[in-house]
Structures are given as structure tokens and as C-alpha cells.
Amino acid sequence: MRYTYPACFYQEDDGRYSVIIPDFPIGTFGDDLADAMYMAADAVTGRIFLALEEGEPLPEPSDIKTVEPERKNGFVSLVYVDTDDFKANHEEKPVKKTLTIPSWLNKAAERKNINFSATLRDALLEKIAQ
């Protein structure tokens, strides 16, 4: 599903941006405007998933024309969320992979009761974090 909710953005004295999403209400911040937009979408996505998980109805998005920033230096923008895209990128569904390792390594790992899936997952997470 795709959603848009209005959000109020405020530039702080240090250059970062605070964000309030009044329809939920939740807030977040970003190091710059692009980061704040990303963080706002992430916060709304998390709140939508929480509401759906708990069986709560989602609030109707306010009309952007009716949302006023509370501070003079603020502005209102729409935050776009695609929960299908988020779910596809964060799904924990296992995927079967076939790998080839030397026979001696297989035997040594089995002797130590090493979980191959967990070890590969941990190694891949470490690699992509670099």
C-alpha cells in the first residue's frame, strides 16, 4: 500500500531538521533536509506497521492545506510511504542458497557443530556493513 501524510519540517540552529507528523503524532529528525525526509518516511512506515500489527485503524491523512507549522521557520511537505516496498526490502523470509566449500572445511565445521546458515548470514551482514 502507498500512503502520504503531511509533515512539518523545522530547521534547527545547528542546521539539522526536526520533523513532526501530526496525524500520528510522532517526530523524528535528520542531519539535513534529505535525511529528515528519509527519517520521516521511515518513522511513518514504522508507525503504520505497528498500527496494522495491533489492529488499530490508520488515521486519515490531513489535507496538506490545513496543516500549519507551529514555528515560523517551519514548512509542510508530504511524506510518501510504500509499505510493500519496505516489506520486500525488510522481509525475514529465508531464501535457500547452495554453496560449495572444501571437503576438509565442511568436516571441521560439522565436528564443531557450526550452524552454516547462521555463519553465512553473520558473514554477509559484516560484509555489507563495510
Domain ranges, ordered by start, for the chain: 2-90, 94-130
What is the distance between the alpha carbons of residues 109 and 103, in angstroms, rounded to a whole number?
Answer: 10
How many CB atoms within 10 Å of residue 53?
A: 8
pLDDT of residue 88: 66
Q: How many CA atoms lie within 13 A of 87 on its CB side?
A: 9
CATH node for 2-90: 3.30.160.250
Evaluate if residue 119 carries a pLDDT over 80.
Answer: yes
Beta bridge partners of 3: 81
pLDDT of residue 127: 87
At residue 70 the predicted structure's pLDDT band, cuts being 50, 70 and 90, is very high
For 129, the grid coordinates are 556493513
CB distance 74 to 9 below 8 Å: yes
Q: What is the mean pLDDT of the chain?
A: 90
Using CA atoms, how far residue 120 sits from 20, 60, 99, 113, 127, in Å, is: 40, 43, 10, 14, 10
For 90, the grid coordinates are 525488510
Mean pLDDT across the stretch 77-90?
80
